């Protein structure tokens, strides 16, 4: 009895402190930005805006460059993710399941792009792309963003394929399934949720990728984040940037909600070898 | 009628170690043969070769006269139950069982009938909609068995199927599996390192060591008459005493025993239940510890040179630590150069 009441009465103060701190740090800026997006007049020293409204939404969404950038970003993310899946998933399966000469070096080379300071690497690549006439082109940006997805799309699926119990695959062979059928009916569904997480991460990551898109894509290719940066840098009106940033929450929010439903918490952790 | 024939099968791993070394075995129709041995004895490798998961380096495996040595697992008439049960966790019980039937393009109605019948057989009627992770360890192993049985394999292969279960469940399941196996009359090869499992289930056991057969025969015969010291030590508890024979007398420390064999070194094997203890003025051994199991007792003894022996006694309360006793073996076997040379 006493132990029951004592556990009920004990409050986890350090846990609450962490939760409050995290809330302040994460939610705080989001609230400020969201507030700005719906503000028409907000002058110092008022704590809340004098006038709320949708005027700047209308203005921002009325601009053709915003719509072009949004469509471009969606197209870019889709193409990059599909290409990445096409290249990386078979490679990940090979890394996870097959033995071949140079396997470890190849595996490492896939990740080497992340071992250097990214901007230096981008500038070097930009120099090469300049000679290949890829600067300012759609496919130039696709290529540079592909590099960025390699880590997610190799590492996580490799871990996912390795985590599939070999006995499960053998049991499927035993009941009469061909190797291809085993892959389709057993290996892929077992690794599926984790691989889906990787695809989602790479889509969202590509959507928000800025440095590569800016360095390689400018001036012809302007993705949503690049457009947002130019708004923040060049416009005196804060609201344009705020409205765009609220808009940019939408894909990641949808992705996260979707991910939670489809995957459940364990798959991400498993993908990272947890 | 399904007969398994293994002829001169050898499996050499890269590095040159013989996992299985020129092994031959015939399993008769409806027979349950147990491959028994310590880990590394090659028993699992052998089973996996019969299932098609490993390729023999040389030798032939035939089932009902058909050479299956080089067929992949999906084209062999064998059904394997894995130690880790290896159920497909993304399918429910019904789908786990139906998968193999679907691959055989059986009509849906027939699949349903067959799956329900086999679930009934393993005592899991009505569990078809459960996900596999909602089942207990014993139920999961039953589903794994059903998954193999539903395809009516000619040869059933069991790879330490009860190893992950607790003692109680293991005993119950092996009775059930034995019942099912006998009812269906299915030819079965069973791998285990548990001797009680082998002794209680098998029609015949094959004791393996280093990829070779040490002894093959009916469980009771192998238990009563082990042909090599390895089998003697592996099956059941056995006192193995190394000593010298001179003039028909076996000697180790103070312990002597008449043994009508030629002079030389010998290993004497005595079961604890065949070693009687008596009080004596000239004790040959000292009681080290007495353990009372209720139904019987076990007395640990030390010879003068420290050799440890075990004796099973009906009345453990008659003995206490430090007491001197005389040893009266009722039945012994003697080995020399890994061969049995005497048995009483």
φ, ψ of residue B55 in degrees (nearest 5) = -100, 130
Q: Taking a C-beta distance cutoff of 8 angstroms, is the pair A81, A202 a contact? A: yes
Pairwise CB contact (< 8 Å): B100 & A178:
no
Buried b / exposed e over A217-246, threshold 16 CB at 10 Å, is beeebbbbbbbbbbbeeeeeebbbbbbbbb
**Angle, alpha carbons B233-B239-B244 (nearest 5°):** 105
- Give the gyration radius of chain A's Cα atoms: 24
Phi-psi region of B65 (alpha: psi -120 to 50; beta: other; left: phi over 0): left
pLDDT of residue B218: 93
Taking only residues 24 to 83 of chain B, the set having a beta carbon closer than 8 angstroms to any beta carbon of chain A reads: 51-53, 72-75, 78-80, 82-83
Both tokens of A231, joined, read 């708004």
The CA distance from B330 to the nearest CA of chain A, in Å, is: 48
Distance, CA of A14 to CA of A7 (rounded, Å) = 16
Contacts of B163 in chain A (CB under 8 A): none
Regions of chain A short of the pLDDT cut 70: 1-9, 113, 235-236, 261-274
Please determine, for the modelled complex, whether the ipTM score is greater than 0.90. no
Contacts of B151 in chain A (CB under 8 A): 175-176
Chain A touched by B132 (CB under 8 Å): no
Chain A touched by B105 (CB under 8 Å): no
The predicted-structure confidence for B11-46, as pLDDT tens digits, reads as follows 898 777 888 888 999 999 989 999 998 888 888 999
From the CB of residue B36, how many other CB atoms can be counted at a distance below 10 Å? 29
Walk along chain B (344 residues) in steps of 10 and give the mean pLDDT of each run.
85 83 90 90 90 90 90 91 88 92 91 91 88 88 90 91 84 87 90 86 91 90 90 88 90 88 91 88 88 91 90 89 89 89 86
Distance, CA of B124 to CA of B143 (rounded, Å) = 8
SS3 assignment, position A53 = coil
β-strand pairing of B18-27 with B4-12: antiparallel
The predicted-structure confidence for A43-83, as pLDDT tens digits, reads as follows 777 777 777 777 777 777 777 877 888 888 888 889 999 99
Q: What is the DSSP letter of A213?
A: H
Which residue is it, tokens 């250097």?
Answer: A116
> Which CATH architecture fits A63-271?
Orthogonal Bundle (1.10)
Q: How many CA atoms lie within 13 A of B14 on its CB side?
A: 0
Residue B2 contacts by C-beta under 8 Å, 6 or more apart in sequence?
B29, B30, B63, B64, B77, B154, B155, B186, B187
pLDDT of residue A1: 43
The predicted-structure confidence for B194-230, as pLDDT tens digits, reads as follows 888 888 889 999 999 888 899 999 998 988 899 999 9
Q: Please name each of the domains of chain B with its CATH number.
A: 4-231 (3.40.50.300), 240-343 (2.40.50.140)
Nearest Cα residue to A173 out of B176, B12, B75, B66: B75
Q: Taking a C-beta distance cutoff of 8 angstroms, is the pair A216, A134 a contact? A: yes
Q: Would you list the domain boundaries of chain A? A: 2-52, 63-271
């Amino acid at each position: 009895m006493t132990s029951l009441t004592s556990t009920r009465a004990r409050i986890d103060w350090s846990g609450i402190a962490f939760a409050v701190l995290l809330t302040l740090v994460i939610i705080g800026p989001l609230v400020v930005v969201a507030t700005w997006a719906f503000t028409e007049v907000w002058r110092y020293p008022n704590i809340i805006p004098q006038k709320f409204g949708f005027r700047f939404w209308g203005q921002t969404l009325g601009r053709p460059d915003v719509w072009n950038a949004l469509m471009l970003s969606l197209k870019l993310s889709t193409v990059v993710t599909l290409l990445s899946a096409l290249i990386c998933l078979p490679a990940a399966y090979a890394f996870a399941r097959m033995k071949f000469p140079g396997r470890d070096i190849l595996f490492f080379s896939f990740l080497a792009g992340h071992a250097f300071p990214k901007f230096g690497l981008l500038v070097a690549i930009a120099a090469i792309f300049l000679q290949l006439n890829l600067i300012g082109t759609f496919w130039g940006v696709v290529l540079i963003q592909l590099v960025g997805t390699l880590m997610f799309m190799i590492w996580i699926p490799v871990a996912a394929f390795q985590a599939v119990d070999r006995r499960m695959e053998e049991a499927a062979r035993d009941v009469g399934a061909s190797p291809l059928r085993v892959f389709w009916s057993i290996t892929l569904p077992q690794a599926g949720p984790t691989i889906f997480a990787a695809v989602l991460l790479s889509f969202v990551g590509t959507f928000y990728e800025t440095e590569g898109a800016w360095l390689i894509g400018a001036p012809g290719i302007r993705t949503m984040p690049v457009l947002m940066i130019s708004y923040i840098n060049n416009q005196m009106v804060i609201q344009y940037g705020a409205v765009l940033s609220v808009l940019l929450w939408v894909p990641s929010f949808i992705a996260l909600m979707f991910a939670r439903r489809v995957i459940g918490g364990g798959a991400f952790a498993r993908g990272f070898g947890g | 009628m399904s007969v398994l024939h293994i002829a001169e099968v050898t499996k050499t791993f890269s590095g040159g170690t013989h996992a299985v070394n020129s092994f031959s075995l015939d399993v008769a129709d409806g027979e349950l043969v147990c491959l028994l041995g310590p880990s590394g004895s090659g028993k699992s490798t052998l089973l996996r070769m019969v299932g098609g998961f490993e390729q023999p380096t040389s030798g032939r495996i035939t089932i009902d006269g058909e050479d299956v040595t080089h067929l992949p697992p999906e084209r062999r008439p064998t059904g394997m139950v894995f130690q880790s049960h290896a159920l497909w966790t993304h399918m429910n019980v019904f789908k786990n069982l139906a998968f193999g039937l679907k691959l055989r393009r059986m009509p849906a109605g027939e699949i349903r009938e067959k799956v329900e019948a086999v679930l009934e057989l393993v005592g899991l009627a009505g569990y078809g909609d459960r996900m596999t992770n909602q089942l207990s360890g014993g139920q999961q192993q039953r589903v794994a068995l059903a998954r193999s049985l539903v395809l009516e394999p000619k040869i059933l292969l069991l790879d330490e199927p009860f190893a992950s279960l607790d003692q109680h469940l293991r005993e119950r399941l092996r009775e059930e599996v034995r019942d099912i196996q006998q009812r269906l009359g299915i030819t079965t090869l069973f791998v285990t390192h548990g001797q009680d499992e082998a002794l209680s289930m098998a029609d015949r056991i094959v004791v393996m060591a280093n990829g070779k057969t040490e002894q093959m025969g009916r469980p009771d015969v192998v238990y009563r008459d082990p042909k090599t010291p390895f089998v003697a030590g592996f099956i059941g508890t056995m006192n193995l005493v190394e000593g010298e024979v001179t003039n028909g007398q076996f000697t180790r420390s103070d312990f002597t025993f008449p043994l009508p064999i030629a002079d030389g070194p010998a290993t004497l094997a005595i079961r604890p239940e065949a070693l009687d203890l008596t009080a004596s003025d000239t004790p040959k051994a000292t009681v080290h510890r007495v353990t009372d199991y209720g139904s019987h007792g076990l007395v640990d003894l030390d010879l003068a040179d420290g050799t440890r022996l075990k004796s099973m006694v009906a009345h453990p309360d008659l003995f206490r630590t430090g007491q001197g006793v005389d040893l009266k073996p009722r039945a012994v076997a003697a080995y020399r150069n890994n061969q049995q040379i005497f048995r009483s």
